[in-house]
């Protein structure tokens, strides 16, 4: 834990953006689970053809604060200003893969895998890692089954969506039930007690749930009927039942109907209806309810001027939405620029997020937004092209652009291994999440390497030099790492020289016939690298010399048909 004073109803942790939707787009779960996921994402248009063709699950990435191990990379290094891979196991020999969704909080992170299991890492003083202990972990640990005891032999399965509160976690199961674990001083676990639990407990009397979201010390669930239930702290009216009384079991939200998605902030709540209208309730001191006032509300009010919304999220004291036009909208607290509109002025009504590089008053806006997530004082956007933008506070590197400089307009997140000023940027991302001061993503690495060979002159005279130019291009959606080129020289040619535009080549002795291997390094999407190899042809006139080359990398390449090329040159 951070050591800060935690005041229920006046906390400083972010809302935990709901993360089930992207998960189900990849997981191949049952239709009911798919529907749940889509509702969690705020989509109201059903499963689209494009969604059905979504790529496979990916690897977990994280950046920003790491004092409690919340980046999951096996360290407690204070921070990382660019993405690092979450460990697949200490001492991190492999990345944490098969991930379909991620979320974070003040000092811990959670991930949902395609097999329906849940994993967590970071701080664990309240049992929020769900593994039956209160011991921190800087690498992922598996969440135990309901009622298990450490060391657990049974683990939680069948989960379709997960969301984190300040120090508690909610998990939606495929049968429509909800389980929770972690802190419970305000009744946010919903099991009828106020006792913390280091393993999942069942939320009392809650069935038919389609979406869940955890606020700091309260919890929300949207049911398939369109109704909303809430439980936990209610000092600011965040339960939406017309009172300020807490509840350790679910209570109905007043006048909430036809709701498909919910989002819990520090002490405020959001709901997305099937008609694209957003409702809000709870704390409103920074205008996070979006109804053009700063008055708290114990019942839902309508967010002003916002229609056709497809996705919602909530930060600690700010709110976010994606309407049908794909331009991000934000409202509420803005002291660190988390609204992204080029200012640090709060707004009690939605404003458009500026385009990267803009200055207020912005003439261009952030477009192509698919999903949003809000942290303590920063925000993140996932775009339809698989790239990520961030804005707001950056004291811990949570913007991921290689610096600790805050930004009131969006910046691009750097690729793994880059340093500022970055020349390559994160792509191939399918899901995002935010903690207080860290950010998470699921990247689906996928290269499409192609190699082409050209030999000149053609024909080549006997006993003359033949120059091969080998060009490698990455047509894939993400960078290809550790690209290697292997060229099998002609059996009747003698090696002369080899040089590559990038990296280095391991060559045979001059005059021999062997294989040339060139390490080309990383190859960004839609870029090329080349090597040139010279041989002396010893074949007789009238014959043909054959050269074959193959390219490989450490990144999955589902289209390997173009990874090999052959060139034939006639000898004159």
Residue 278: helix, strand or coil by DSSP?
A: strand
Phi, psi of 488 (to 5 degrees): -90, 110
d(CA 402, CA 396): 10
**Can you read off the two tokens belonging to residue 59?**
């690897």
Show the low-confidence residues of the chain (pLDDT under 50): 1-55
pLDDT at residue number 477: 83
Query: DSSP for 449-488?
Result: EEEEEEEESSSB-TTSEEEEEEEEEE-SSSPEEEEEEEEE
Phi-psi region of 97 (alpha: psi -120 to 50; beta: other; left: phi over 0): beta
Q: Looking at the domain that runs over 20-443, which CATH code has it been given? A: 2.130.10.30
Chain-centroid distance, C-alpha 353: 20
pLDDT at residue number 455: 95
Residue 151: helix, strand or coil by DSSP?
A: coil
pLDDT at residue number 90: 66
pLDDT at residue number 208: 97
Q: Measure Cα distances from 432 to 5, 148, 222 in Å.
A: 28, 30, 21
Query: DSSP for 385-423?
Result: TS-EEEEE--TTSTT-SSS---EEEEEEPBPTT--SSPS
**Quick one: 449-570 is in which CATH superfamily?**
ntegrin, alpha v. Chain A, domain 3 (2.60.40.1510)
d(CA 517, CA 93): 25
pLDDT at residue number 56: 61
d(CA 234, CA 208): 24
Q: Please state the domain extents for the chain.
A: 20-443, 449-570
Contact 429, 387 (CB under 8 A): yes
Could you read off the pLDDT of 532-570 as tens digits, one per residue?
Answer: 999 999 999 999 999 999 999 988 888 899 999 999 999
Phi, psi of 36 (to 5 degrees): -60, -45
Three-class HEC string of 212-269: EEECCCEEEEEECCCCEEEEECCCCCCCCCCCCCCEEEEEECCCCCCEEEEEECCCEE
**Can you read off the two tokens belonging to residue 145?**
């089954």
């Amino acid at each position: 834990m951070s050591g800060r004073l935690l005041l229920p109803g006046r906390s400083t942790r972010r809302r935990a953006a709901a993360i089930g939707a992207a998960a189900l787009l990849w997981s191949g779960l049952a239709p009911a689970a798919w529907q749940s996921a889509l509702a969690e994402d705020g989509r109201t248009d059903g499963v689209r053809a494009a969604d059905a063709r979504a790529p496979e699950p990916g690897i977990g990435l994280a950046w920003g604060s790491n004092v409690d191990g919340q980046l999951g990379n096996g360290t407690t290094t204070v921070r990382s200003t660019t993405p690092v891979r979450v460990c697949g196991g200490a001492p991190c020999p492999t990345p944490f893969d098969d991930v379909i969704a991620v979320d974070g909080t003040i000092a811990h992170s959670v991930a949902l895998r395609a097999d329906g299991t849940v994993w967590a890492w970071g701080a664990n003083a309240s049992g929020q890692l769900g593994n039956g202990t209160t011991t921190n972990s800087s690498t992922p640990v598996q969440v135990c089954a309901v009622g298990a005891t450490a060391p657990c032999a049974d683990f939680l399965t069948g989960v379709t969506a997960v969301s984190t509160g300040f120090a508690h976690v909610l998990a939606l199961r495929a049968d429509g039930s909800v389980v929770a674990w972690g802190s419970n001083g305000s009744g946010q676990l919903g099991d009828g007690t106020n006792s913390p639990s280091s393993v999942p407990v069942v939320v009392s009397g809650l069935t038919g749930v389609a979406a869940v979201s955890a606020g700091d010390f309260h919890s929300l669930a949207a049911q398939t009927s369109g109704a909303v239930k809430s439980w936990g702290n209610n000092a600011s009216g965040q339960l939406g039942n017309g009172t300020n009384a807490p509840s350790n079991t679910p209570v109905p939200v007043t006048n909430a109907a036809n709701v498909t998605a919910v989002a819990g902030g520090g002490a405020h709540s959001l709901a997305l209806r099937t008609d694209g209208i957003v409702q809000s309730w709870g704390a409103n001191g920074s205008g996070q309810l979006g109804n053009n006032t700063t008055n708290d509300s114990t019942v839902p009010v309508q967010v002003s001027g916002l229609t056709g919304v497809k996705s919602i999220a909530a930060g600690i004291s700010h709110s976010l939405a994606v309407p049908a036009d794909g331009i991000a909208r934000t409202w509420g607290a803005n002291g660190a620029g988390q609204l992204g509109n080029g200012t640090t002025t709060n707004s009690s009504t939605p404003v458009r997020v500026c385009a990267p590089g803009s200055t207020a008053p912005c003439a261009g806006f952030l477009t192509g937004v698919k999903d949003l997530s809000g942290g303590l004082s920063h925000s993140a956007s996932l775009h339809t092209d698989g790239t990520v933008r961030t804005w707001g506070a950056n004291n811990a590197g949570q913007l991921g652009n290689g610096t600790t400089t805050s930004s009131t307009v969006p910046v691009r997140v750097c690729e793994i291994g880059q340093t500022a000023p970055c020349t390559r940027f994160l792509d191939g991302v399918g899901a995002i999440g935010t903690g207080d001061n860290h950010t998470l993503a699921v990247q689906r690495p996928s290269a499409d390497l192609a190699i082409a060979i050209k030999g000149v002159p053609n024909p080549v005279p006997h006993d003359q030099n033949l120059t091969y130019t080998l060009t490698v291009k990455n047509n894939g959606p993400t960078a290809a790492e550790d690209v290697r080129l292997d060229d099998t020289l002609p059996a009747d040619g003698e090696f002369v020289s080899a040089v590559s535009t990038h990296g280095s080549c391991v060559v045979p002795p001059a005059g021999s016939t062997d294989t040339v291997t060139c390490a080309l390094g990383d190859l960004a999407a839609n870029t090329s690298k080349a090597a040139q190899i010279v041989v002396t042809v010893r074949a007789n006139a009238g014959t043909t010399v054959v050269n074959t080359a193959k390219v490989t990398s450490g990144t999955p390449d589902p289209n390997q048909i173009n990874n090999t090329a052959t060139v034939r040159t006639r000898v004159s």
